Chain A
Amino acid sequence: MAERDDRRLEERAKQLYRQQQEALDPDLRRRLADARRQALAAAQRGSKPLLPLTVLVPAGAAAAVVAGLVIVLSRQPGPEGDYTPLVAADPPVEDMEILLGNEDLELLDDLDFYLWLDDEPEIG
């Protein structure tokens, strides 16, 4: 009984998720395709020999699907329960640096970009 209910739930959830992905904004689809090409170009610049064009096909195909996953993940409450981080969490002191820094508050508008840039010295 429970197994049958599990199957029904799984099938319905998959159906709803597929519908959600099919309804993705065409502009977002185009931007994802552009992002895939840019990632490929960046990888080609940063490594020899050149990356085969097929490398990002699975990632690209999954990208639109992943968008929905990210929405769910990014809107959830913080880590709790039996969660174990896949990578070690940064120390809280980083938060304090953000809060107590002397930078112009305008910088915070692009905070994600600067943090990303800091993490990616080898790209760009």
Chain B
Amino acid sequence: MAKSMIADADEAFDVVQDAMIRFAGRYARRPESEWRPLFFRIVINRARDWQRRQTVRNRVMFWRRNDEMPDPVDTAPAGRGAEPDRELMDEEAMATLQTAIRELPARQQQTFLLRCFEGLSVEETAAAMGCSGGSVKTHYFRALAALRKQLGEHWDG
């Protein structure tokens, strides 16, 4: 998981950097209460754009990568800290959670990420997603139910 996170970190950084520039350039004059939902809305849109473009790029470029596969030794995760068992358990729990999140319908997924991970209110989440507060509550309720079902009773580390 650490390896895949590091591998994706540069792409994530580009998306966040792009969102920062767009946010600062276009929305700085908006009321402060709108900043967080606006910023997350931009991030969601840019991530979507990136994912679509990456799909196109992968179709065209896959044959060029055959000779560029990284050495697995070079890209192996770094050593663990003082509590390797606990860290490993947490990493696996997070990986399982992220897999389950990725399998949610997109609106449920966005609602869960914004509400649970980012701590946005119902109103902020609605603004970020461009929908009503009622829709946010419905999506979030369904997301939690789906995750509970998918993760099972034993997922809590």
Residues of A within 8 A of B (CB): 2, 5-6, 8-10, 12-14, 16-17, 19-20, 25, 28, 31-32, 35-36, 38-40, 42-43, 46-47, 51, 55-56, 58-60, 62-63, 65-87, 89-90, 95, 98-99, 105, 108, 111-112, 115-116, 120, 122-123
What chain B residues lie within 8 Å of A39 (beta carbons)?
17, 20-21, 23-25
Is the Cβ of A14 less than 8 Å from the Cβ of B24?
no
Instruction: Please tell me which one of the listed residues A40, A47, A79 contacts residue B106 in the complex, with CB atoms under 8 A apart.
Output: A79
Determine if A82 and B5 form an interchain contact, defined as CB atoms under 8 angstroms apart. Answer: no
Whether B24 pairs with A40 at a CB distance below 8 angstroms is yes
* Contact A28–B13 (Cβ < 8 Å): yes
Instruction: Check if A32 sits within 8 Å of B102, measured CB to CB.
Output: no
A-B CB pair tally, cutoff 8 Å: 210
Chain B, interface size category, equals: 35 or more
Residues of A within 8 A of B116 (CB): 10, 13-14, 17
B117 contacts which chain A residues (CB < 8 A)? 13-14, 17, 65, 68-69
B39 / chain A contacts, CB cutoff of 8 Å: 58-59, 62, 66
Complex: A36 Cα to B24 Cα, angstroms:
9
Interface of B is mostly: helix
Other contacts beyond A20-B94, A38-B20: 14, CB < 8 A: A5-B148, A12-B155, A20-B5, A39-B25, A43-B24, A55-B24, A55-B28, A62-B40, A63-B16, A70-B11, A70-B47, A73-B51, A105-B60, A115-B53
**B99 CB to nearest chain A CB (Å):** 10
Type the 1/0 row for B54-92, where 1 means its CB is closer than 8 Å to any CB of A: 111101110010000000000000000000000000100
C-alpha gap A67/B82 in the complex (Å):
25
Question: Is B93 engaged at the interface, CB distance under 8 Å to the other chain?
Answer: yes
A-facing residues in B15-56 (Cβ within 8 Å): 15-25, 28-29, 32, 35-36, 39-41, 43-45, 47-48, 50-56
In the bound complex, CA of A112 to CA of B12 (Å) = 13
Q: How many angstroms from the CA of A8 to the CA of B111 in the assembled complex?
A: 18
Q: Which residues of B contact A28 (CB under 8 A)?
A: 9, 13
A46, A55, A78, A89 — which one has the most chain B CB atoms within 10 A of its CB?
A55
**A98, B60: Cβ atoms under 8 Å?**
yes
